[in-house]
Amino acid sequence: MLLEVDRLDVKVRLASGDVAVLRDVSFDLQPGRILGLVGESGAGKSMIGRVVAGLLPEGFKSTAQRFRFDGKDLLDLPAEQRRRLLGDRIAFIPQEPLSALNPVLTIGRQFIEHLARLGVPRGERRRRATDALTEVLLPEPDALLDRYPFQLSGGMCQRVLIAMAFASNPSLVVADEPTTALDVTTQVHIVSLIRRLQAAHGTGLLFITHDLRLAAHLCDEIAVLYAGDVVERGPAKQVFGAPRHPYTRALKQAMPGLTGDRRPLQALPDIMPGIEALGRLPGCRFAARCPTADASCAASLPPLALVAPGHWVRCASACTSEVTAPSTIASEASGPANGKALLKLDGIAKSYIRGRITAVKDASFSIASGESVGIVGESGSGKSTLARLVMGLDTPSAGYIELDGIDVTVPEPSWEKRISLVQMIFQDPASALNPRRRVANLVTQSLEARSRAASEAERLKRALELLGDTGLPEGLLQRFPPQLSGGQRQRVNIARALCAEPRLLVADEIVSGLDVSVQAQILNLLQKLRREHGVALLFISHDLSVVRHLCERVLVMKGGEIVESGRTEEVFSRPRHAYTRELLAAVPPDDMNKPWPPTP
């Protein structure tokens, strides 16, 4: 047994008393196997990695019946011996590759320092570093050693860090969301690389991720965490294929699929309880959001029960409740029915620094009233620039933009008209909501502009309507954005865009920072708004399954160009452009029998 964890508890001391942020966590990891720790943010999955590293933040304390690495109890081990294990026998792959490398030192310097710490003789270090970089498929490894981290892409930096992690031939590697900061096509390469190295070295891997589908494909076994509890643990394919815990089921049904029928997303109400609330939840912490919970659930924590060989579930009713087959959405009849284009772009281009950098070139497309169009592509493909051009926040270098029949290519003259027709939902609500304004004030901001100044009472009335539209409780009217959860902030963000009753909403990556269950709430909200208000949508995302769920037509962008466009179903089922195929192949499929990641 490589890693043996039995009844691990992590407690934090708060003003209100001690709170268990991890409760009764047990798992085993055999050498050469992969265990996935899956959960949304705040579930405590990274905390487990920190316990392994002995890097708990101030005020956190861990106790366990057993926490053995290779027969040695890690929690009892003297700090000095424990430190010697780290880096040598236990290695880590971090989430943010760019911030994990020192920007002022070359890759070689950092790699060689790492090798020196591992006790590699001076003369061999450079050669070992070159070999390790070759192993992670980096081109020209020798030249790379003299480069600085900022000269490399995020994916290359992550490869360097993976090479460093495997350099000591460790028996355990802890990877904490190693691909979250990367593009999908990069993710696929990094995941297959980790898997290949892990298999070649016979390493045990603890893979921490929020992506259930990814974990199901990569891992041998997965443990699903919710608010500090392992709610379900078992063979990966079985947990994903036939989840038994209501939370795992909800997580799965909240994810839009890339193939098969489109089904309505089952969004859980509310959000995961935060640390402060955990102290008041002695029983099942999921009970408040659970569709099958009864009064006894909240009172006491059910034990992990064996439901199938190797498959454990912590739920009182998991074994009885059946999986209800989700209904499918009838293909929406809306679309370019009247055929009149609301927005028309013709040959739009944008370049910066006197034409030396081209962000968008020759983009032409149109959106009809009530239609929903998605733009997919990786970071740097020009998606956001295109959104800014549509909004008039930038002026195109060439081309023509028409909105409801009027020329709005140059923003200034038609500004008033434009903002009454198009509004934008910004990507990051933390940045898009002024922290000094209250919710009531934020959502009615467009009533504050001088030309249509409204009275306080009118604004309050409109704010209440908008909160109702976006499913926010009235109690939030007088709150400030920092007092809201991520999902609530995104709703406020949407409510503000709706205030002026636009006919087109431009949404730039508005669900990428959200957890799956909150993402489902927001996607359902967008669909409801489209149905009720008949508003057209330009939806920008890197997530293909979300675009498929929401949009009738899709544009695929690469390097500032639209390389493919058409009806979403057609493009995704019969992609013509090589890049579209690459994007589609990078997404872990729902079908567990399809091998993923594709072996290089």
Partner 1 sequence: MRSMLARCLAEPRVRVGGGLMLALLLIAIFAPWLAPHDPGEQDLLHTLLPPAWAPDGDPAFLLGTDSLGRDVLSRLIFGTRVAMHVAIVAALGAALLGSVLALIAGYYGGRADWIIGRAVDVWMSFPPVILSLILMVGFGAGLNNVILAIVIVDWTRFCRVVRSEVMTVRRRDYIPAARLAGFTHLQVILKEIVPAVTPLLLTLISIEMGIAVVVEAILSFVGLSVEPNVAAWGVMIADARQSMHEAPWGLIAPVVGIFVSVLAANLLGDGLRRSVDPRLAQRLSVLR
Q: In sequence order, which residues have a C-beta less than 8 Å from that of residue 186 and are 6 or more positions away?
A: 153, 154, 155, 158, 179
Q: Smallest distance, Å, CB 438 to partner 1?
A: 10
Using the minimum distance from each CB to partner 1, give the nearer residue, 23 or 388. 388
Using the minimum distance from each CB to partner 1, give the nearer residue, 110 or 444. 444
What's the one-letter identity of residue 242? A
Binding to partner 1, residues 529-588 (CB under 8 A):
none
Using the minimum distance from each CB to partner 1, give the nearer residue, 81 or 395. 395
> Which of 287, 391, 522, 587 is in the footprint of partner 1 by CB under 8 A?
391
Rg (C-alpha) for the chain, rounded Å, is 26
Angle, vertex CA 225, rays to CA 222 and CA 229, nearest 5: 125
Q: Render 150-205 in DSSP notation, one character per residue.
A: GGS-HHHHHHHHHHHHHHT--SEEEEESTTTTS-HHHHHHHHHHHHHHHHHHT-EE
Binding to partner 1, residues 457-516 (CB under 8 A):
480, 496, 499-500
HSE-CB for 319 with a 13 A CA cutoff: 11
Using the minimum distance from each CB to partner 1, give the nearer residue, 267 or 536. 536
Using the minimum distance from each CB to partner 1, give the nearer residue, 418 or 558. 418
**Phi and psi of 72, rounded to 5°?**
-100, 135
Q: In sequence order, which residues have a C-beta less than 8 Å from that of residue 581 and are 6 or more positions away?
A: 575
Q: Smallest distance, Å, CB 79 to partner 1?
A: 23
Structure tokens given for 141: 């490894």
Contact 304, 26 (CB under 8 A): yes
> Which of 18, 270, 416, 570 is in the footprint of partner 1 by CB under 8 A?
416
Helices and strands, number each (H, E), in the chain: 22, 22
Q: Smallest distance, Å, CB 452 to partner 1?
A: 7
Helix (H) or strand (E) holding 531: helix 516-533
Q: Smallest distance, Å, CB 387 to partner 1?
A: 11
Binding to partner 1, residues 10-29 (CB under 8 A):
15
**Exposure string (b/e) for 254-276, b if CB count within 10 Å is 16 or more?**
bbbbbeeebebbbbbeebbbeee
Secondary structure class of 402 (helix, strand, coil): strand
> Which x/- pattern over 312-331 shows residues binding partner 1 (rule: CB under 8 A)?
--------------------
Q: Smallest distance, Å, CB 431 to partner 1?
A: 4
Secondary structure percentages of the chain, helix, strand, coil, to 5: 35, 25, 40
Cα 94 to the center of its chain, rounded Å: 16
Q: Smallest distance, Å, CB 458 to partner 1?
A: 15
Using the minimum distance from each CB to partner 1, give the nearer residue, 169 or 483. 483
Q: Smallest distance, Å, CB 434 to partner 1?
A: 4
Binding to partner 1, residues 145-164 (CB under 8 A):
none
> Which x/- pattern over 29-68 shows residues binding partner 1 (rule: CB under 8 A)?
-----------------------------x----------
Number of residues in contact with partner 1, rule: CB under 8 A?
Answer: 27
Using the minimum distance from each CB to partner 1, give the nearer residue, 310 or 352. 352
Using the minimum distance from each CB to partner 1, give the nearer residue, 62 or 427. 427
Contact 355, 397 (CB under 8 A): yes
Q: Smallest distance, Å, CB 426 to partner 1?
A: 4
Q: In sequence order, which residues have a C-beta less than 8 Å from that of residue 516 and are 6 or more positions away?
A: 40, 210, 212, 251, 254, 255
Using the minimum distance from each CB to partner 1, give the nearer residue, 204 or 382. 382
Binding to partner 1, residues 417-456 (CB under 8 A):
419, 423-424, 426-428, 431-434, 436, 445-446, 448-452
* Chain positions contacting partner 1, by CB under 8 A: 15, 58, 391, 393, 416, 419, 423-424, 426-428, 431-434, 436, 445-446, 448-452, 480, 496, 499-500
